[in-house]
Chains A and B, each alone.
Chain A
Amino acid sequence: MIPTLDDAHATIRRGLLITALALAGVGAVIVMALWMTPTEVRQGLAQKIFYLHAPSAWAGLLAFSLTGITGGLYLWLRDPRLDLFSEASAEVGLVFGVIVLTTGPIWGKPIWGTWWTWDARLTLTLFLFFLFVGYMALRNALSDPAERARFSAVVGILGLLLVPFVHLSVYMFRTLHPQPVLLKPSAPSMDPRMLRTLLTSVGVFTLLYIGFVTTRYGLSLRREARGVADGD
Chain B
Amino acid sequence: MGIETPDNGSYMVAAYVVVCVVVVGYALSLWRRSRQ
Contact residues of A with B, CB < 8 Å? 12, 15-16, 19-20, 23, 26, 30, 39, 41-46, 48-49, 52-53, 56, 95, 98-99, 102-103, 106-107, 109-110, 208, 211-212, 215-216, 218-219, 232
Contact = CB atoms under 8 A, between A and B. Distances in A.
Most central of B6, B14, B26 by chain A CB within 10 Å: B26
Contacts of A45: 8-9, 11-12
14 contacts: A12-B34, A15-B30, A16-B31, A16-B34, A30-B16, A39-B5, A42-B3, A45-B11, A46-B8, A48-B12, A49-B11, A52-B16, A107-B15, A232-B36
Given A45-B12, A49-B15, A52-B15, A215 B34 contact: yes
A50 to B, nearest CB: 10
Contacts, number: 86
Interface string B6-34: 11110110111011101110110011011
A184 to B, nearest CB: 24
Given A12-B34, A16-B31, A106 B8 contact: no
B22 A106 contact: no
